[in-house]
Amino acid sequence: MKYSRLLCAGIAVSLLSISPCPIPYTNAQDTSYASPAPTKGRAYYEERGDIVWEVPTHRKLIALTFDDGPDESNTPAILDLLQKYDAKATFFVVGSRVEKLPHLVKREREEGHEVGNHTFLHSSFQYISRNKALSELNQGQASIVQATGAGTHLFRPPGGSYNDTLVKLSKEKGLKIILWSWHQDTLDWRKPGVHRIADKVLRNARNGDIVLMHDYVHQSTQTVDALKIILPELKKRGYSFVTVSELLSNREKPDGLIEVNK
């Protein structure tokens, strides 16, 4: 009996000592899944340039990104604010919504913003076959081409879910997986309040950040209102808002970065 208690205690301590990979995000509008622990750690994919979380740079550049749109009210409001503050952003769009509101995605491109693939149906990539994943990528890309006349080379999987299979598939399709800075997940989909969203961004702002927000959150304008605080304040601090591709072009290669064939 004494041995059994000691064994159980030892197992408990071992489990507590394991440091799990952070789960970056679960969509409030689809809470049936969370990002799985990847086959390999972040450093493995980051060093090879397979997945981007943020970009090392000494320049005061930040990439604002918006997921799950377009939305008939929030997207135009966000575009108006970006135009007011001479800011560029990247919109990771859901193909089924693009088909309903193609003019908004076209406007995003026309105003100098970047459009990324966020799948067609916002399906979970945690438990998905390769064929289903391929279909989601292809349909998402097709919707963007139909709306704007050109595709994209950026992809953000719903919920931040990724694994070796998805990385390989994205490469085959010529897509770069873009996630976000872990300290810049605004959780705006939870509707935490305008000032909490704004404070998250402002308190943690660093060069090369990729900020996660959403231009579609059901019955919420908190993201729009938070941008009214974020944009002028960060401009005052000397930051410029750029697309993800522009941010990537300003990467300063850190020591130890492994160059691989894309």
- What pLDDT score does 27 carry? 37
Q: Which of 207, 198, 194, 171 is nearest to 61 (CA)?
A: 207
- What pLDDT score does 16 carry? 36
- What pLDDT score does 126 carry? 81
Residue 205 corresponds to which amino acid? A
Which range, of 29-38, 162-171, 194-203, 212-221, averages the lowest pLDDT?
Answer: 29-38
Q: How far is residue 194's CA from residue 92's CA, in Å, rounded to a whole number?
A: 22
Contact 201, 186 (CB under 8 A): yes
Contact 210, 179 (CB under 8 A): yes
- What pLDDT score does 180 carry? 98
Average pLDDT, the chain: 86
Q: What is the pLDDT of residues 6-27, one digit of tens each?
A: 444 443 433 333 333 333 333 3
Angstrom distances, CA of residue 100 to CA of 148, 174, 232? 13, 26, 32
Angstrom distances, CA of residue 199 to CA of 90, 193, 204, 240? 21, 10, 8, 18
Q: What is the pLDDT of residues 162-172, one digit of tens each?
A: 999 999 999 99
**CB neighbours of residue 164 within 10 Å:** 13
Q: Which of 20, 21, 25 is nearest to 160 (CA)?
A: 25
Q: How many residues does the chain have?
A: 262
Contact 104, 72 (CB under 8 A): yes
Q: What is the pLDDT of residues 111-125, one digit of tens each?
A: 999 999 999 999 888
Say if residue 174's pLDDT is above 90.
yes
Q: 29 exposed, middle or buried (CB, 10 Å; 0-12, 13-18, 19+)?
A: exposed
Residue range 58-69: average pLDDT?
A: 98
> Catalytic positions, please?
67, 214
What does the block give as tokens for 165? 């299979």
Residue range 170-188: average pLDDT?
A: 97
Say if residue 37's pLDDT is above 50.
no
Residues 6 or more apart in contact with residue 40 via CB below 8 angstroms: 164
Q: How far is residue 112's CA from residue 76's CA, in Å, rounded to a whole number?
A: 14
Report the share of the chain in percent with pLDDT over 70.
Answer: 82
